[in-house]
Amino acid sequence: MTSELLSLTAAQAAERTRAGDLDPRELWDLYRERAGADDLGAYLWLPDDAPEMDASGPLGGVPLAVKDLFCVEDVPSTSGSRILEGYRPPYTATSVRKLVDAGAPMLGKTNMDEFAMGSSNENSGYGPVKNPWDESRVPGGSSGGSAAAVAAGLAPWAIGTDTGGSIRQPAALCGIVGLKPTYGAVSRYGMIAFASSLDQCGPLTRDVTDAALLFGQMTGRDPCDSTSLDYPADPRLPSAERLDGLRFGVPKELLDTEGIEPGVRAVFDTTVKRIEELGATVEEIALPHSGHGLAAYYVLAPAEASANLARYDGVRFGIRAEAPDLLSMYEETRAQGFGDEVKRRIMLGTYALSSGYYDAYYGQAQKVRTKIADDFRAAFERVDLIVTPTSPTTAFPLGARTGDPLAMYLSDVLAVPMSLAGIPAISIPGGLADGLPVGVQLAGPAFSEFEICDAAYALERAIGFGDLPWK
């Protein structure tokens, strides 16, 4: 019974609970017990008591793991940082509230890179997360806890956030599905900000159907978020079996990126063949400025972060260091509370915004960002969707890149351009390379999530991945 329950996708489980064939409490107990026995470091907090169970909503009472970056009223919310140790927000993030209201009670808070800065989850202030496929390897990041929990069957589904790949890359490395929505499609209110102009939250799920189901309940304009927009389409679940008539583009510049592992390349090439077999055309396209995406990203995101993280000053919440005067209190609190990578990015960002350097760094990076968005716009005149590997590599060993920030940053080289352009992209498992999952990324124009999910669904069926480490 247990393994049968466990093998249900979230959408399948919701269908049963809504039909009255399954008590959602049974589902809760199963996952709460598994989450409690988590030995991957995937969770940072679990509730003591079961919530009121209600299977009547569209999400059927299927429990949801929530990245620790989301504020939840009275629940520890640290964004993976020691500086917010003990912090319990006085309010709940809009996206979490919407999902709970739609019938997905919160199962727990998941581990992450501190303030979402990282690609391996090793920057967490509360210890790393292990990849359930190989516990000596990283799960990716920054939503590493959410990805590992879903892949290991410690949660039916999860939400995470993606600033420059933080949903897609861990989804790829853990062999699950991760969807980064269009910027503005989902409210950011209550998401502890990393880089405000890039942050978006989205689902991490076992399959594309679950991702579409969860995403459909997250969207919409929020009066608390001036940058959020009404979603222009009604939610729907994917059903396409073929890709007839669709045009796919493979961006030359991104595929030429140095460091794409042969195993990743092989899975990608196979996937492209499958796309053609399903009736779509595949052509090479140009995204001429995408090669500069990572450089622009590592100016813009740290610049915004340097301001977003300035509020952690020891005055109102989180930890406060005892010090003889105000300046030392600020310095000591931040020295103790932030990890190395966060400090590195605050320094980078502060420098990029400094008087005399602004134009050369921040101003220039904004121009590159505009060019990259223009590149995508032009590309979508020719093709419907763009396909790339999600990450140049499979999951790498714990500790392999902690001493080399630039190598770590390269993990997101294929994911960052879409973030800069604000467009949606999904990562689905394409197959295995040396026993480790490889993700394939599909990107489309703004607000094309359901079209992307349709194509990803057809491809998912053709690939027939279905593997998860506990199966």
Partner 1 sequence: MEVASARQYEPVIGLEIHVQLATDTKMFCGCELSFGLDPNTRTCPVCLGHPGVLPVPNRRAIEFGLMIGLALGCEIAPRSIFHRKNYFYPDNPKAFQISQYDVPLCSGGELAGVRVHRAHLEEDAAKLVHAGESGRIHGAEASVVDFNRAGTPLVEIVTEPDIHSAAEAAEWARLLRETLRALGVSDVNMDEGSLRVDGNVSIRPAGEATLGVKTELKNMNSFRFLERGLDAEIARQEGILREGGQVEQETLHFDNRTGALSSLRSKEEAHDYRYFPEPDLVPIAPTEAMIEMARAAIPELPLARAERFERDHDLPADSARLLAFRGEQGDFFEAALAVSPSDPRTLANYVVNDVPPGSAATPEAVAKLVDLIGAGTVSRGAAKEVLEVLAAEGGDPEQIVADRGLGAAGGDELGAIVDQAIAENAGAVEKIREGKDQAIGAIVGAVMRQTKGRADGGEVQKLIRERIGA
**Site residues, partner 1 (CB under 8 A):** 70-71, 77, 79, 84, 87, 89-91, 93, 188-193, 195-197, 223-227, 303-304, 306-307, 310-313, 315-317, 325-326, 330, 350, 353-355, 358, 362
- Residue 112: phi, psi to the nearest 5? -165, 165
Respond yes or no: is residue 67 known to be catalytic. yes
- Give the span between the Cα atoms of 216 and 138, in whole angstroms: 30
97 and 114 Cβ atoms separated by less than 8 Å: no
Q: Nearest distance from residue 293's CB to partner 1, in Å?
A: 18
56 is catalytic: no
What sign does the dihedral 190-192-195-198 (CA atoms) show? negative
**Is 155 within 8 Å of 174 (Cβ atoms)?**
no
Edge-to-edge order in the sheet of strand 200-205: 43-45, 106-110, 64-67, 157-162, 200-205, 177-180, 425-433, 436-443, 385-389, 247-251, 281-285
Nearest residue (CB) to partner 1, 20 versus 223? 223
- Cβ of 71: how many Cβ atoms within 10 Å? 21
In the complex with partner 1, the residue whose CB is nearer, 299 or 418, is 299
Check if 77 is active-site. Answer: no
DSSP E strand stretches across 187-236: 200-205
Stretch (H or E) spanning 157: strand 157-162
Cβ neighbour number for residue 436 with a 10 Å cutoff:
20
Q: How far is the CB of 200 from partner 1 (least distance, A)?
A: 13
> CB 321 → partner 1: shortest distance, Å?
14
Considering the complex, state which of residue 149 and residue 365 has its C-beta at the smaller distance from partner 1: 365
| Amino acid present at 75 | V
Cβ-Cβ contacts under 8 Å for 458 (sequence gap 6 or more): 238, 240, 241, 242, 243, 278
Q: Which is nearer to partner 1, 163 or 394 (CB)?
A: 163
End-to-end CA distance of the chain: 14
Other beta carbons within 10 angstroms of residue 120's beta carbon come to: 30
Structure tokens at 430: 């394409």
Choose, from 79, 166, 306, 419, the residue flagged as catalytic. Answer: 166
Instruction: Kindly state the smallest distance separating residue 382's Cβ from partner 1, in Å.
Output: 30
Minimum Å gap between C-beta 304 and partner 1 is 6
The amino acid at residue 232 is P
- Closest contact distance (angstroms) between CB of 355 and partner 1 is 5
Q: How far is the CB of 311 from partner 1 (least distance, A)?
A: 5
Q: Are the beta carbons of 457 and 434 closer than 8 angstroms?
A: no
3-state secondary structure of 180: strand
**What count of other Cβ atoms lies within 10 Å of the Cβ of residue 403?**
8
Angle between helices 208-216 and 10-19 (to 10 degrees): 60
CA-wise closest residue to 409 among 185, 207, 192, 123:
123
Neighbour-count burial for 377-400, b at 16+ CB within 10 Å, e otherwise? eebbeebbbbbbbbbbbbbbebeb
Q: For the CB of residue 315, give the shortest distance to partner 1 in the complex, in Å.
A: 5
CA 280 to chain centre: 28
Q: How far is the CB of 224 from partner 1 (least distance, A)?
A: 6
* Residue 134, helix vs strand vs coil: strand
Q: Which of the following is catalytic: 142, 146, 187, 290? A: 142
Given the complex with partner 1, which of 188 and 206 has the nearer CB atom? Answer: 188
Structure tokens at 330: 């600020």
Closest CA to 248 of 448, 419, 382, 422: 382
Quote the radius of gyration of the chain (alpha carbons, Å): 21
Task: Using the minimum distance from each CB to partner 1, give the nearer residue, 45 or 317.
Answer: 317
Catalytic residues: 67, 142, 166
